[in-house]
Amino acid sequence: MTDKIALITGASRGLGTALAKALAPTHHIVAVARTVGGLEELDDAITQAGGTATLAPMDITKPDAMAQLCRSIHDRWGGIALWVHTAIHAAPLTPVAHMDAKDWTNSVAGNVTPLGHLIPYIAPLLGRDGQAVFFDDPAAAQMYHGAYGASKAAQITLARAWAAESAKSGPKVHVLTPAPMPTATRARFHPGEDRTALTHPDAEAARLLQLLD
């Protein structure tokens, strides 16, 4: 097993899966997601390619569960080299004036609140030399994207604040902007679009990882 550990939150599909597979040749993958089937498929792909993974079928909105996971990572490996956060809640598109209260609550609970406990839990595991990666979505401010867009903007604001605070002391915090990809989240927001013009997640994962130090 490689000595480098990569923690992927939101690893069961889309860009999270693609990044986990791309990192597996050089990192042991700790894959976190609620979807057990997706994690098992990822594990199969990583194992077949000669890599190793630890599956953590957990909900990032549960602080106690995340605390236990981070303690387990510390006890087993001492820390991690990389944290990649791709987990996202995509609320249905709707005019802001007609936004459902439950969709708003779920958006904040899925996209903003978890970082309030994940960053303090994971930062010590990264230490000075680790790296954390978040993903911006410039299209999130479009009309009808209110709940998703506002919660995504808040998430990225937290990431950018952490990046500024740790610029000299570490860890290195990246906020990257992926190209449009044919993911399940995008399909919810753009039904019926020509998906052949979009970038495959595997190709985009390779490009994004080249941007890391």
Secondary-structure breakdown of the chain: helix, strand, coil percentages, each rounded to the nearest 5: 50, 15, 35
Cβ–Cβ under 8 Å, residues 177 and 199? no
* pTM for the predicted model, two decimal places: 0.94
Q: What is the rounded distance in angstroms from the CA atom of residue 62 to the CA atom of residue 121?
A: 12
Q: Which residues of 132-146 are buried (b: 16+ CB within 10 A; e: fewer)?
A: bbbbbbeebeeeebb
Strands 82-85 and 5-9: what pairing? parallel
Domain 5-209: give its CATH code: 3.40.50.720
Q: In angstroms, rounded to a whole number, what is the distance separating the alpha carbons of residues 104 and 83?
A: 27
In the prediction, which pLDDT does 213 show? 74
Place of tokens 């903007």: 153
Q: In this predicted structure, what is the pLDDT of residue 89?
A: 92
Q: What is the pLDDT of residue 206?
A: 97
Encode the chain (213 residues) as per-residue pLDDT tens digits.
568 999 999 999 999 999 999 999 999 999 999 999 999 999 999 999 999 999 999 999 999 999 999 999 999 999 999 999 999 999 999 999 999 999 999 999 999 999 999 999 999 999 999 999 999 998 888 899 999 999 999 999 999 999 999 999 999 999 999 998 888 888 888 888 888 889 999 999 999 999 997
